[in-house]
Structure 1
């Protein structure tokens, strides 16, 4: 069993995660996890739950919360034991992330003191890596945050300082930690140690002139007494060439929070990218509908295999869905600068840039992520040629004409994964703050318990019921079904519920039941399901667009070629192929097609110009 408090609450075993949707129950669990194996008095739990002002019914309500929490945690629920005057959670030290963090941080400190820098860096990176976000990110308990956050956050920053101190002795990490230290000094200007480490990193990498300025920008002064770490000078201190000095960059965007599912695709991508063919780079092209999570999957896969590419990871947004996609020559310029080519040495013409780019990567192991590609012509000049490299490409439609590229269609989420993602989004969504972002979860979530108001005394037998049912598993399943397995739609629903605490999942599911206003409901802020589908529709040629609208009116989740010919006429296979390439249809088997629900609804809302009436027996055809 695994329990986590270094970020959103996490409870999982080999069978999967056990989400706790109700905020009050999360508070109880967090209070027990912070005292593992030790009794927590009921009076203390009540004080934490209601921030020092428990209602008269606190004792009974607390028993109800504990009872429901045991049910939510599955097999782990039996570990919550009732003790005289309180409750206890049985847990082994290795099962709780904060205890593993403290143990790894202590081992790393001892290794650093002994001069074992590689071992210290490894242990401390493991310790810091256990933090998935702010402490207790989805637990709305002011008392716990006041008591625990400062202490544990200080332990994390201290471990990070020691980790970077150890890594400064490892030349291959120098470029990466310099970039990391710039961010840390900006985020924590009060920590003198980060400023001293940044100064040392710049000087060791041969960039001595930058050190004083960086120190001042980070909050230090020219007269500061910050002492640099004791580091022996090495070859990295030699000044770089004025023309070229290869830089190892790790440019991957941060991973999307609450990434859910996609295990088969992740395993397949990892295997393909890390076992390239002997004479060419490994290339994978991820395609799918707008909002299905192509970029998120590519980012997750890239982070998973990044260690297999010691010469760096490069990222470029090709802006293929915008009015002005990025020109390959412009992208090559950016990549060459990232690789260390001096501006004055950049070739002027695209052919010369391409030749230099491929020469630099010929004998290196670099992973390239090309996001939002327009077409194969835009991608082809950007692909590395060295067999040790790999490339991940995302595009709305399939990209033909990339030799050796493995196509990976990113499907809509299966029903179970859609429900799980929606549950996690709702658990992490801040109340009344608008759209759910892809960043770290906010510290407060919608409370689905009925008596969460500390100033209101609600009898224990009336504090749940209607609201629990309205936000319970059946309601969440209905809402997830209305979203048709599209992650973007699920995020929109979570954002709408977060912005409207008075709404329930059941009410929103009922609103989505109307086809006339479905897409008006699936929009919040910049998140807009209809806009993505409209972009797909506009890319279709007239014949394919007409076939799309007429097939949608037939309203079949799946159909065969014979049915399509009866509806569209003989020779419709070319139009069907274009719809498959655009991800409007899925080719489930030869001459058999799937038609997702959201697309059928959208298609029925599109005009059919001069559409002949379907034959009477069309609906009965195969």
Structure 2
């Protein structure tokens, strides 16, 4: 089987090409392919298929689209699986053109680092040959294009630059001139193409033309972008002026290191997502982190912000990082580690992205994780930089990405507390206090509306259990529906059986956040999370848990501690564990409807149901 997005969407099996004529089914297939091997929540798919404006019938219609897509794909149809809360597609890396492109690119980079320019050029040509046009060109989804098309186009341009480097190393400067002129005209902002054009002209004996190109690019950058040429362009310009022998042939390692250092010294990244203008509460946590970020240190600050799904960990860290920008004038790096997915981000790939951001040419990025970590920490040494690592899976994923210089700091978010991350400062987020929850809702719905119904506002905050994600959904829904009273929404949430249905709005979905929260649990812990919610009280003691799970107390305690570490239970005192209200409602829902889920038979929950009745 072959699946392709580097151009029009394609699916090819032994019978030939499979056509997916329906536009929304193409969007659905593309959304699954770009996250192949991962469960994509139904809410995320609906947001993608309907470009952020899914209809009320989206869940039902989405199931219909999945059924029709399976039929259209023929023998590939069964590869689309249904998982709790979403869908996934089973596609191997060698079957997907975007992954083959990445693999060939990496082989080219490795060959170029070994000095095998001919082999590198061949691998780059293979990678570029996979492109049949702009990525996702026939997929009518602005959401998907914004997320994937630009990224893939950037990766293609990076490979073009690397292939041109290999060609210049092989002495093909004359035959590359036409292509370089087209690329500089099409992408005037990419200084690397201009530097390669100047080098090719100079090696062809056209020094005056090479200097004229520098004048042209300097004018374009000043007029269109308001910036001066970067370090690499200036270095090539100086080398041409003094007829530097190093410019006559393949770059020598010493010069390459000089250029890398020069480029790196001028790059000041700021990769944070936009901050929330309505961030509310968490005053003590914000002050604690701000104080630590601005204090003089003898070792790098590593802070781990943990808490239940939807607790606002990312919001707190991003708010704090924006506020700490002046304390880290050399830049802020950001990475989404995707810890809640089947395939979390690979630290090696994240390091590669960081190195490119810091100004390292693609061909100079080391192959191995350890080598990349060493170079990354060297580049950050002596600089006041902040690294934000969002949604970490575990300490093993985080460690290679941590800076080492005392002037550096790292803010990490994770559902797990990461207790084995040496030297980390723990920050655990519980529910918002009642006053902060009401204040948050007031900011979203407006002070006049909140003042008109103070009791209903308090009840709505209580129904949300102080969970920031739930509060935001309620506030946004009320703001979008001025005809609704606060009482109307509070009454809808008062019914536990429909509360979670009300807490979904586009990509904001409490169920989806909770579902992602249990993705990394082992089977016994996931089962215990469901079954212990059937106890008559939201607080479960160790003895009760032992009887309900049918396990010795020591085994039950280990399971409960795993749930507490994952932010799914709160350990208020030794031997007693509490469900937050919405998490308990969701766990009871899972236990009630467990037979419909694919990963375990219904019989698993029946003994615990009987034991819950006995305990009650």
What TM-score does the superposition give when structure 1 sets the normalisation length? Answer: 0.54
Aligned to 1:453: none
- Three-state SS of the structure 2 residue aligned to 1:243 is helix
**Of 422, 437, 443, which aligns to 1:424?**
443
Q: Aligned partners of 2:478, 2:586: CA distance in 1, in Å?
A: 23
Structure 2 residue 329 is the aligned partner of structure 1 residue 333? no
Aligned to 2:220: 213
Native 8 Å contact 2:340 2:520 kept in 1? no
605 and 258 in structure 1: CA distance in 2 versus 1, 3 angstrom threshold: same
Aligned to 1:413: 432
* CA displacement 1:124-148 (0-9 Å, x = unmatched): xxxxxxxxxxxxxxxxxxxxxxxxx
Aligned to 2:420: 401
Native 8 Å contact 1:556 1:595 kept in 2? no
Structure 2 residue 259 is the aligned partner of structure 1 residue 242? yes
Structure 2 residue 400 is the aligned partner of structure 1 residue 384? no
Native 8 Å contact 2:530 2:587 kept in 1? yes
Q: Aligned partners of 1:543, 1:264: CA distance in 2, in Å?
A: 36
Native 8 Å contact 1:243 1:342 kept in 2? yes
The structural deviation recorded for 1:277 is 4.9
The structural deviation recorded for 1:405 is 1.2
**Of 386, 393, 407, which aligns to 1:374?**
393
- Three-state SS of the structure 1 residue aligned to 2:577 is strand
Q: Aligned partners of 2:536, 2:521: CA distance in 1, in Å?
A: 20
Q: Aligned partners of 1:315, 1:589: CA distance in 2, in Å?
A: 36
The structural deviation recorded for 1:389 is 1.1
Native 8 Å contact 1:276 1:282 kept in 2? no
The structural deviation recorded for 1:594 is 2.7
Q: Which has the higher helix share?
A: 2
Moved more, 527-536 or 558-567: 558-567
Aligned to 1:256: 276
Aligned to 1:497: 478
Q: Aligned partners of 1:473, 1:236: CA distance in 2, in Å?
A: 61
473 and 525 in structure 1: CA distance in 2 versus 1, 3 angstrom threshold: same
Aligned to 1:518: 499
Structure 2 residue 323 is the aligned partner of structure 1 residue 318? no
Aligned to 1:507: 488
The structural deviation recorded for 1:559 is 4.4
Structure 2 residue 568 is the aligned partner of structure 1 residue 584? yes
Moved more, 342-351 or 329-338: 342-351
Q: Aligned partners of 1:208, 1:376: CA distance in 2, in Å?
A: 50
237 and 504 in structure 1: CA distance in 2 versus 1, 3 angstrom threshold: same
* CA displacement 1:195-220 (0-9 Å, x = unmatched): xxxxxxxxxxxx976543345546x9
**Of 268, 286, 290, which aligns to 1:270?**
290
The structural deviation recorded for 1:334 is 1.5
482 and 348 in structure 1: CA distance in 2 versus 1, 3 angstrom threshold: same
Native 8 Å contact 2:531 2:605 kept in 1? no
Aligned to 1:12: none
Q: Aligned partners of 1:519, 1:567: CA distance in 2, in Å?
A: 26
250 and 535 in structure 1: CA distance in 2 versus 1, 3 angstrom threshold: closer
Aligned length: 364
Structure 1: gaps spanning 5 or more residues: 1-181, 183-206, 221-227, 429-446, 449-467
Structure 2 residue 408 is the aligned partner of structure 1 residue 363? no
What TM-score does the superposition give when structure 2 sets the normalisation length? Answer: 0.54
Structure 2 residue 514 is the aligned partner of structure 1 residue 530? no
535 and 305 in structure 1: CA distance in 2 versus 1, 3 angstrom threshold: same
Q: Aligned partners of 1:208, 1:558: CA distance in 2, in Å?
A: 72
Q: Aligned partners of 1:576, 1:521: CA distance in 2, in Å?
A: 29
* CA displacement 1:472-506 (0-9 Å, x = unmatched): 11111111111111111111112222333322110
337 and 545 in structure 1: CA distance in 2 versus 1, 3 angstrom threshold: closer
Q: Aligned partners of 1:300, 1:277: CA distance in 2, in Å?
A: 22
The structural deviation recorded for 1:369 is 0.6
